[in-house]
Structure 1
Amino acid sequence: MKTSHQTTIIILLGAAFLGGCATIPQNDQGKQPGQSAKSVDPYENTNRVFYDITDAIDRHVMEPVANAYLGYVPSPLQRSIGNFYDNLSYPNVALNAFLQGKGQQGIEDTMRFTLNSTIGLFGLFDVATRMGFKQNDEDFGQTLGVWGVDTGSYLFVPLHGPSSARDVTNIPFSAATNVLFLVSSATIFAPIGVLGAIDKRARLANAMKIRDQAALDPYLFVREASLQQRKHQVFDGKPPIESYDDLSEDGDAELAEVAPVPVISVQNNPARDRRADRVSSLQIDPIKMTLDLPQASSLPTDLDPDPTRSRRTDRAP
């Protein structure tokens, strides 16, 4: 049994790596005010090599398979497969909620997992959401961030995706808390793990298109989006406003408060609060990939498209 579990976790990590080939930011402190890119990413040259290798594998292997999956598997079945894999990894969410001191959320996450595993037929159907138990996103990297552990150096893990010296600890932690590792053998897990990697890549298809179309340097796009997203997650969507030292010409330091860096948010639930009258942040959903912009009705209607008209009116008797 011990050997079987060792083999299973190796395959589990491998499947996670395959799924990570297409990782689009899924930090706490991230880049601190005044911190240079070099101090955030001291291993950039090595990280770029790992990124290029992972991206090549994704484009030649994972992307064609994921496109076939999207093209031939019916949408309801895709949704059930996604629910199944989300449920398998949900004990990790519940456990880390407790570790972060979120007792009420931990209880609700445990109830969600129990309901979906039983009434929802092993997670194929998300009955818990309909019963009021929302899906949360916690992991051991976030837990360490809540405990005060700094993000550390940015890392791009080969075949896994963006991470950091702190967040990389979640890879073995999430593998050990996955239901498949606890109850199945390597023979059973191998095909299920591969299908999970394909499902994950398929759910990121739109995000990958956004990255390719919007980013002049995809590596920097992924790095900055990942750091901002992790910060967003650690602070539960309410990161502190950063302040920067604005050095004047005479050398005196003046503290200037600036708006937070726009956050690229990863959410499984596409529901949005669109009541904001103006854009306060940029949110990108890896599943739906929509930009939260104000509706046309919320824009000022008294703007004159002809700036010369007022001058002509002033000259009129």
Structure 2
Amino acid sequence: MPAYRQGAFALIICLFLLGGCASAPDTPENSAVQPQDNKQSQNNEPALAEELAKGKDVTVQTSQGAVSVSPVVVAVGDTPESGNTGGEVYYNDPWEGFNRAMFSFNNVSYQYVLLPLADGYHYVVPGVVRDKIGNAFDNLREPLNLVNNTFAGEFSEAGANLGRFLINSTVGLLGLFDPASDWFDIKPQKQTIANTLQRYDIGSGPYLVIPILGPSDSRGALSTLTEGFVHPVNYIAEPPESYQLRIFEGFDDFSNQSDTYRKLYEQAEDPYIFFRNQYIQGQRRDELFELSEREQQDNL
């Protein structure tokens, strides 16, 4: 094993040991007692999210009082029901047959393989160590963010990517820590190939469920495939180590969302529609945000 890999491996082991000593398990005894209103709000979150997915307005209780929230896009089916004159907006899902089959395959893979593995990962690896592992993978991606932001014409964001990579790779010990954010207030500026294509008004295309990876669209699938060939991990490791690193990175990301997935899937009336609508709504929100940003820049 090369010297630099031995050093990185030793560093991760040290962090694991320190994390095990420094962090207590996430048990009710160690958790701070929350006010009753906050508990009720957290218990209602899946139900509220499902109401939004159905295109309904919801009311959320916050510290500032009740706030009414409306969905960005109403996507409750592929075609209007017979005799429906309510004026609802429907999402055309031309690949629904394939998508539903793939969604079912993914769910079986999650339920019987990835979710149990994620539970074991949470049990064995302390949260503070998982955070550092995630930081290292995020830092490794910064050169790709830089290239994407440059091609998108987002030069200030590209500069932030460069600064973060230099600082976190050195002072941050190969990205395990994030002094760029903590000390220099240089915030992450993630940019995918899909984001760059969107910047040039290339449409997202039909909704698509990718094996194991889950909800996406045609543009996102192209981005995922392309980034697999140009990801910086390919330049620091050779197969099969590069494949192993990418798989572990994906699993680490999944483990951060595993509990949320499990709860939402169990409470959704139609899990496929629910997760599809959540993805589409998030996509529309990002597109509206991007459009707003452009308009503000044009007005300057």
**Structure 1 residue 48, shift from structure 2 partner:** 0.2
**Structure 1 residue 239, shift from structure 2 partner:** 6.1
1:141 to 194, 206, 219: 194
Q: Deviations over 1:48-107 (max 9, x none)?
A: 001100110111111111101101111211111111111222222222222221111111
Q: Distance in 2 between matches of 1:190 and 1:53?
A: 22
Per chain length, whose mean CA-contact separation is higher, i.e. which structure has more relative contact order (CA < 8 Å, sep 6+)?
A: 1
**Structure 1 residue 190, shift from structure 2 partner:** 4.0
Q: Distance in 1 between matches of 2:290 and 2:264?
A: 22
2:157 to 98, 105, 108: 105
Paired-residue identity, % = 24
Instruction: Point out the more displaced range, 41-50 or 219-228.
Output: 219-228
TM alignment of 1:72-221, pairs within 5 A: 72-130=124-182, 131-221=184-274
Q: Distance in 1 between matches of 2:232 and 2:146?
A: 13
Q: Distance in 1 between matches of 2:125 and 2:247?
A: 16
Distance 1:154 1:141, change over 3 A: same
Q: Distance in 1 between matches of 2:161 and 2:148?
A: 10
Q: Deviations over 1:129-165 (max 9, x none)?
A: 1121111232111211121112211111112211112
| 2:109 maps to 1:57 | yes
Distance 1:108 1:202, change over 3 A: same
Q: CA RMSD in A?
A: 2.5
Q: Is the 8 A contact 2:144 2:232 kept in 1?
A: no
Q: Is the 8 A contact 1:231 1:239 kept in 2?
A: no
1:69 to 110, 121, 128: 121
Letter matched to residue 103 of structure 2: Y
Instruction: Point out the more displaced range, 108-117 or 190-199.
Output: 190-199
1:36 to 90, 93, 100: 90
Unaligned runs of 5+ in 1: 1-28, 241-317
Q: Distance in 2 between matches of 1:67 and 1:238?
A: 40
Q: Distance in 2 between matches of 1:80 and 1:198?
A: 15
* DSSP-derived class of the 2:269 partner: coil
Q: Is the 8 A contact 1:91 1:177 kept in 2?
A: no
Structure with greater proportional helix content: 2
* DSSP-derived class of the 1:155 partner: strand
**Structure 1 residue 34, shift from structure 2 partner:** 7.7
Unaligned runs of 5+ in 2: 1-71, 76-86, 294-300
Distance 1:46 1:187, change over 3 A: closer
Q: Is the 8 A contact 2:146 2:161 kept in 1?
A: yes
Q: Distance in 2 between matches of 1:129 and 1:57?
A: 36
Distance 1:140 1:90, change over 3 A: same
